[in-house]
Chain A
């Protein structure tokens, strides 16, 4: 059974959204379930700071040993920070998906986008857990 923190929001594609401090900036990564399904992550291709995305746009790629997977934006927004550590330590996605393995921080373009995300209970139900 995978870890699903109560204080985060989720997509059906297994991205999570974390809000801390500034309510308009969210941290995006993939869930514990997603990293477990992917297996060992060997490379994460991320966008540049300043890049703008709509909701559910492909913003990056995650390469695991056995599979490649697209990353989708949970909300529309502008990239304000990317996790540079993943360049040298892609395995952080496996070891700390909700912590050091985060991917990008987005300045949310439309606060209402967040209302469409799943809460922890809904995401757990989506996983069938």
Chain B
């Protein structure tokens, strides 16, 4: 509870003044001043997203634009998923690895008719840019960091389409999950309307010119059915869905195979950074796996608490919280692969006492509205 007197200047998103006016609690996050919650509180915001609709400012995220004749080939070489398999107008989740086969970051990849866009974590953006730039000389492409020119709002919740459709001529019904379209929204031209999100609920992520930030926010909020939602509930929502958070569930000590993200790794697509290491791990056997667990006692696992399997240390809790939707304490941890089965137990040490956790099938929350 000490006052922040950080000497590094924090960046602000184009929605900063709106958050302050709404009474948001602003915290330093990935070099930005971000709203962790509004006066409504994390639990109410979480429930609003599950039941109606929430609006997140996620403009801190980084965007890279890759143009040139070999844009697809370049992104194929620096990420794990198969970009060539994407249709124009389609998005996928992917990983950026190093030669050890561990994560530098996770990302979204958007395929446009004439270019590719990567969306990366704010905390890793500069590192990612330097890392993938090492491959540039092999390709006829141009790589640009356009993050400062992009505002990003995530409208998330079962009512998202009903709320957004009156604001745009883009036919939202026609956009499938992990597809996107472009058009005017609230009179703002060239908005990327992407049916994606980090909550499990149906919803849209809107990428647009930051000059129109306030106009977009006001237009989406106008009907009165949308709750401003902060990073606090974004974390509980994504964890209930078992979606990985870089820095918690995945980092540069973890491979996608260990993180249950084998589905974003396409070993047959051709060469990419980290492929050799993943093939070697696959041949040797994956030693540990990320699992989700619940704790019946009212003792909540949190990031960093020690984990034990059959009495032996098994790393630390990667993510943990009290799940507002499931009303139980939930967490993730890496356990020996042979132990990674629903019903098996582990122990979490919480303030010197050990509590039993039961491994469960992910996602924790089974009733999300995404398509």
Chain A contact residues, CB within 8 Å of chain B:
14, 34, 37, 39-40, 42-43, 61, 63, 65-66, 68, 94, 128
Q: B residues within 8 A CB of A94?
A: 41
Instruction: Report which of A37, A40, A42 forms a contact with B1, defined as CB distance below 8 A.
Output: A37
Shortest C-beta distance, B214 to chain A (Å), equals 27
Instruction: Report which of A37, A68, A128 forms a contact with B300, defined as CB distance below 8 A.
Output: A68
Whether the Cβ atoms of B322 and A63 lie closer than 8 Å is yes
Instruction: Report which of A14, A34, A39, A68 forms a contact with B37, defined as CB distance below 8 A.
Output: A39
Q: B residues within 8 A CB of A37?
A: 1
Whether the Cβ atoms of B42 and A39 lie closer than 8 Å is yes
B268 in contact (CB, < 8 A): no
Query: Which single residue of chain A is at the shortest CB-CB distance from B36?
Result: A66
Whether the Cβ atoms of B300 and A63 lie closer than 8 Å is yes
How far, in whole Å, are A89 and B236 apart by their CA atoms in the complex?
A: 20
How far, in whole Å, are A68 and B329 apart by their CA atoms in the complex?
A: 13
Given contacts A43-B300, A43-B322, A66-B36, 11 further A-B contacts (CB under 8 A): A14-B1, A37-B1, A39-B41, A39-B42, A40-B42, A42-B43, A42-B300, A42-B322, A43-B298, A63-B298, A68-B302
Chain B contact residues, CB within 8 Å of chain A:
1, 3, 25, 36-37, 41-43, 232, 236, 298, 300, 302, 321-322, 324, 351
Q: A residues within 8 A CB of B37?
A: 39
Query: Which single residue of chain B is at the shortest CB-CB distance from A12?
Result: B1
Query: Which single residue of chain A is at the shortest CB-CB distance from B236?
Result: A65
How far, in whole Å, are A61 and B37 apart by their CA atoms in the complex?
A: 22
Shortest C-beta distance, A11 to chain B (Å), equals 12
Query: Which single residue of chain A is at the shortest CB-CB distance from B233?
Result: A65
How far, in whole Å, are A2 and B351 apart by their CA atoms in the complex?
A: 30
List 26 A-B residue pairs with CB atoms under 8 Å apart, sorted by A's residue number. Answer: A14-B1, A34-B1, A37-B1, A39-B25, A39-B37, A39-B41, A39-B42, A39-B232, A40-B41, A42-B300, A42-B322, A43-B298, A43-B300, A61-B351, A63-B300, A63-B322, A65-B42, A65-B232, A65-B236, A65-B321, A65-B322, A66-B36, A66-B42, A66-B232, A68-B300, A94-B41
